[in-house]
Amino acid sequence: MVTQPSMSPLLDRLTLPGDLKRLDRDQLRRVADEVRQETVEAVSATGGHLGAGLGVVELTVALHRVFDTPRDRIIWDVGHQAYPHKLVTGRRDRIRTLRQGGGLSGFTKRAESPYDPFGAGHSSTSISAGLGMAVGRDLAGRSNAVVCVIGDGAMSAGMAYEAMNNAGSMDSRLIVILNDNDMSIAPPVGAMSAYLSRLISSKPYLSLRHLAKDIADQFPRPLRDAARRAEEFARGFVTGGTLFEELGFYYVGPIDGHNLDHLLPVLENVRDADSPSGGQGPVLIHVVTKKGHGYPPAEASKDKLHAVAKFDVITGAQSKGKPKAPTYTRVFADTLVTLAEADPKIVAITAAMPSGTGVDVFEKRFPNRTFDVGIAEQHAVTFAAGLATEGLRPFAAIYSTFLQRAYDQVVHDVAIQKLPVRFAIDRAGLVGADGATHAGSFDVGYLGALPGVVLMAAADEIELRHMVTTCAAIDDAPSAVRFPRGEGLGLEMPEHGEVLELGRGRIVQEGSTVALLSFGARLGECVQAARELAARGLSTTVADARFAKPLDHDLITRLARNHEVLITIEEGAIGGFGSFVLHHLATAGLLDSGLKVRPMVLPDRFQDHDAPAKQYETAGLTAPAIVATVLGALGRDAAADVGSARA
């Protein structure tokens, strides 16, 4: 029997990053190739984020070769580019469990590995976290390095600049690597640029600069300041980076992020220097990379195969199932386009998620009425508020989990001023493989607490069309509609949406003993639960609340007075719709009659990534769980009840 040679002989020899240090320098190029191929093959089997990870393969290898991880901290901003990092930090044997139930997270995660010093699912947090680690290190008297890797997209968020402004005013040593894979802040990355980067990061240059600074400090202040400005201008003229210098960072770059001969000496210089500024302080290394680098299908793709389903490695063709119905996102987009055809005041805003939110569909029809503000949710909300003051009808399409980042703006800039900003809250509820960082669990609670906000949740795609239409018609208050990820139910869609009466739910089916009051897309599970309860002799009403705010007090009162059991069901955390219902029942004295009320919400924990159906089963928000809750409220044994029903 002939044994086939390994396709990754060097990677097979790597267990932990320290093994990279035992390889010859000229072997690292081959290691990078093997890591890239392994990344492609793993993601082809699991789906996930691909392009960003392929762009940082050489950088990953260089960082773990040069720095002593996990003693030295490497913080990957967002974390979706960290698959190669996972491959070389002891997780290769589990790499084909990425984003699967019980498997590796699609992001960095502290609980998963000591090589993940900071968990990240949202962007632009790395510099803040890294500065905190650097200060903590200094206070403890340690000397380890702290390295933050942040993409140019993440640099569009204000939090990154807040952190840099703070870091630039402090003495703590911090290394920030700007992974420039799109903006091309400073394009020259050839041999001359690499030479200059090595030069200005080298010990002789830093020592000379420090000596010049000491001499200049002896001059009168006007001459000292002039000398400093002249040096910064001269260096900025040939290397760029003036913005970062003004923020207090010592700038090195740009350098080719796919050339290990350029990366390694610069990283080594920065590691070995007492400090890049000649004393103390932060440094920024500008690395230029390409998303999808080294994998032709990704390089040829418009989005560089940023996020993919399972795919064929040879062709890059993704094995996406044929959709049974349009996605909720597409229903939102199509409805908004239809409304905007008749209303020139409708505009759309997204925070760097045009395709994810459907705003790209709107943009194709109305490019001048579409605004992608970058990864800047806070700005997106206040920008929308400004548009509203001028009589426009802005729709801010933002994932539930990302809207959390702009809560202060929602409160102060929108709600207090009663500005009619319309929030299209995508990815409401559990989201499967992206896990806890992306789950839309809290928006009902945090928006429902605000006076005057109209808050809706779509039970199906028809309801979503009606609710988007309703939002467009509300001109005196903020409004929001939440809807889940994934496909609709395949219902026949009306050509136009209806404007719903605010604060009015609907009865889906009438019963007499049990009332199931759903808020959102669990309505189908409620209907199925009602069938199962009917088989047990329990007559059940199913109602769709539609609104969490204003709450349909009349509907809730009717359900409470005419039924023995009232169950509320929602895809949100405790403190949301069910809490609003309980508050009304308590203040109206409707709990005094012996009514049995049970709110069903997401469990009080962060749920790990898994298939959506499995997540909802684990959360207890399925038809069988609803039936069990009803039977428990009635004091009936579920198993015995099943036997009785079958008899």
249 close to 168: Cβ distance less than 8 angstroms: yes
Query: According to the model, what pLDDT value does residue 2 have?
Result: 46
**E strand or H helix at 300, and its extent?**
helix 296-300
Query: According to the model, what pLDDT value does residue 239 have?
Result: 47
Confidence check: pLDDT of 626 > 80: yes
φ/ψ (deg, to 5) at 284: -120, 125
Q: So where are the chain's domains?
A: 11-296, 328-482, 506-646
Residue listed under structure tokens 């996972």: 86
Residue listed under structure tokens 């050509």: 495
Query: According to the model, what pLDDT value does residue 201 have?
Result: 55
401 close to 437: Cβ distance less than 8 angstroms: yes
Query: According to the model, what pLDDT value does residue 304 have?
Result: 75
Confidence band for 3, pLDDT divided at 50, 70 and 90: low
Confidence check: pLDDT of 317 > 80: yes
Confidence check: pLDDT of 279 > 90: no
Lowest mean pLDDT across 76-90, 123-137, 222-236: 222-236
The candidate with the shortest Cα–Cα distance to 295, out of 615, 42, 639, 594, is 42
From CA 163, how far away is CA 126, in angstroms rounded? 9
Q: 568: which residues sit within 8 A by CB, 6+ positions away?
A: 517, 518, 519, 577, 578, 581, 597, 598, 599, 600
* HSE (side-chain half, CA atoms, 13 Å) at 479: 25
577 close to 570: Cβ distance less than 8 angstroms: yes
**Rounded to the nearest 10 degrees, how much is the dihedral formed by the CA atoms of 371, 375, 378, 384?**
10
Confidence check: pLDDT of 257 > 60: yes
Structure-block tokens of residue 28: 């690292």
Q: 548: which residues sit within 8 A by CB, 6+ positions away?
A: 444, 448, 455, 456, 457, 519, 576, 577, 580
Query: According to the model, what pLDDT value does residue 186 have?
Result: 39
From CA 616, how far away is CA 629, in angstroms rounded? 15
From CA 465, how far away is CA 429, in angstroms rounded? 19
Mean per-residue pLDDT over the chain, rounded: 88
Say which CATH topology domain 328-482 has.
Rossmann fold (3.40.50)
Give 262-274 pLDDT, tens digit per residue. 999 999 999 987 6
Give 409-443 pLDDT, tens digit per residue. 999 999 999 999 999 999 999 999 888 889 999 99
Confidence check: pLDDT of 632 > 50: yes
Confidence check: pLDDT of 203 > 70: no
Q: Does domain 11-296 have CATH number 3.40.109.10?
A: no
**Rounded to the nearest 10 degrees, how much is the dihedral formed by the CA atoms of 509, 510, 516, 520?**
30
252 compared with 183, residue with greater pLDDT: 252
From CA 151, how far away is CA 125, in angstroms rounded? 11
From CA 122, how far away is CA 402, in angstroms rounded? 8
Confidence band for 206, pLDDT divided at 50, 70 and 90: low
Q: Ranked by mean pLDDT, which of 219-223, 289-293, 505-509, 606-610 comes out on top?
A: 505-509
Structure-block tokens of residue 545: 């609340």
Give 28-48 pLDDT, tens digit per residue. 999 999 999 999 999 999 988
Structure-block tokens of residue 151: 């993409």
Confidence check: pLDDT of 208 > 50: no
Structure-block tokens of residue 399: 């994932």
Give 383-410 pLDDT, tens digit per residue. 999 999 999 999 999 999 999 999 999 9
From CA 31, how far away is CA 493, in angstroms rounded? 53
| Same fold? 11-296, 328-482 | yes
DSSP string, 589-625: TTTTT--EEEEE---SSPPPP--HHHHHHHHT-SHHH
Say which CATH topology domain 506-646 has.
Rossmann fold (3.40.50)
157 compared with 118, residue with greater pLDDT: 118
Structure-block tokens of residue 143: 């000397």
Q: Is 496 left (phi over 0), alpha (psi -120 to 50) or beta?
A: beta
pLDDT over 70, % of the chain: 87
The candidate with the shortest Cα–Cα distance to 175, out of 118, 241, 127, is 127
DSSP string, 531-561: HHHHTTT--EEEEE--EEES--HHHHHHHHH
From CA 178, how far away is CA 204, in angstroms rounded? 24
Confidence check: pLDDT of 349 > 50: yes
DSSP string, 336-366: HHHHHHH-TTEEEEESS-HHHHTHHHHHHH-
Confidence band for 204, pLDDT divided at 50, 70 and 90: low
Query: According to the model, what pLDDT value does residue 63 have?
Result: 97
The residues that are catalytic are 291, 377, 405
What mean pLDDT do residues 573-599 have? 95
Give 53-91 pLDDT, tens digit per residue. 999 999 999 999 999 999 999 999 988 899 999 999 999
SS3 category, 453: coil
Q: How many residues does the chain have?
A: 647
Lowest mean pLDDT across 59-73, 249-263, 300-314: 300-314
367 compared with 230, residue with greater pLDDT: 367
On the 0-12 / 13-18 / 19+ scale of CB atoms within 10 A, 620 is middle
Query: According to the model, what pLDDT value does residue 213 have?
Result: 54
548 close to 520: Cβ distance less than 8 angstroms: no
* Amino acid in the structure at residue 479: S
